[in-house]
Structure 1
Amino acid sequence: MAISPPGSPTESRADRAHRARRELNRAQTQGLDQASIVLSYLISGVLLWGGAGWLVDHLAGTRHLFTPIGIVIGAGLGCYLIIHRFGALGRRGTPPADPGPPPDRDR
């Protein structure tokens, strides 16, 4: 049984339905992947920097001074990474602006 290329007139109805289901699953999976990345950035930032603050508290002998500071810094850096990574999603598909004619080099 030969498989027809997508969009060809000989592509069967079942092949088109299968391709549509695959594309829908791919779109849903991509959304779940992005959500899990966002969550992992927030959790890892809080844990990493909160742990660093706890370590500084432990070594310096202070009682709960640097731990909350580390947690807030970790949450802020996690948010920064999320905005840096996903903030440009709407701009990726836009073409660059036309730079105009090349400069005249004879002058």
Structure 2
Amino acid sequence: MPLRKRKTSQANPAGQSVSGANEAEVRNDGGYNAGMAVFSYIIGGIIVWSLIGWGLDNLWGTRWIVLLGALLGAAGGFYLSHMHGLTKQSTSAGERDADSGPSKDGDSNAK
């Protein structure tokens, strides 16, 4: 069986390492990865805190703590994804700050 050549890592102008992939593909993949991370935080939080609530329900003989745990897990997942910066919108490659919103100096240059 012949050995395959390993793709070498190339540095792009921004200094980030891109291994055999086009820079635009790496940039476009970031939204998918961020979405999967947000989904994982939320689903993971719901599962973990629901299991904790289920255990407390069995221990104390109640039936509502599992629902509270699921809600707490979902809220915690949203909080973690927000704190990790996964919920903010990213600007496109050619867009500058001035193109993306109103002027930061207010109405001083309005006519």
What TM-score, normalized to structure 2?
0.57
Which amino acid is 2:46 matched to? V
* Residue number in structure 2 paired with 1:23: 23
Q: Highest Rg: 1 or 2?
A: 1
Q: Match of 2:76, SS?
A: helix
* Residue number in structure 2 paired with 1:61: 61
Residues 22-45 of structure 1, C-alpha deviations (whole Å, 9 max, x = no match):
011101221111110000000001
Runs of at least 5 residues in structure 2 that lack an aligned partner in the other structure: 1-11, 14-19, 91-96, 98-111
* Residue number in structure 2 paired with 1:11: none
More helix by share: 1
Supply the distance in 1 between the matched residues of 2:78 and 2:55 (Cα, whole angstroms): 23
* Residue number in structure 2 paired with 1:77: 76
Supply the distance in 1 between the matched residues of 2:88 and 2:34 (Cα, whole angstroms): 13
Supply the distance in 1 between the matched residues of 2:25 and 2:51 (Cα, whole angstroms): 38
Tell me how far 1:52 sits from its aligned partner: 0.4
More strand by share: 2
Supply the distance in 2 between the matched residues of 1:70 and 1:56 (Cα, whole angstroms): 10
Tell me how far 1:89 sits from its aligned partner: 7.2
Supply the distance in 2 between the matched residues of 1:23 and 1:34 (Cα, whole angstroms): 17
**Aligned-residue CA RMSD (Å):** 2.6
What TM-score, normalized to structure 1?
0.59
Supply the distance in 1 between the matched residues of 2:59 and 2:39 (Cα, whole angstroms): 30
Supply the distance in 1 between the matched residues of 2:33 and 2:43 (Cα, whole angstroms): 15
Runs of 4+, deviation exceeding 6 Å: none
Q: Percent identity, aligned pairs only?
A: 27
Q: Does 1:43 align with 2:43?
A: yes
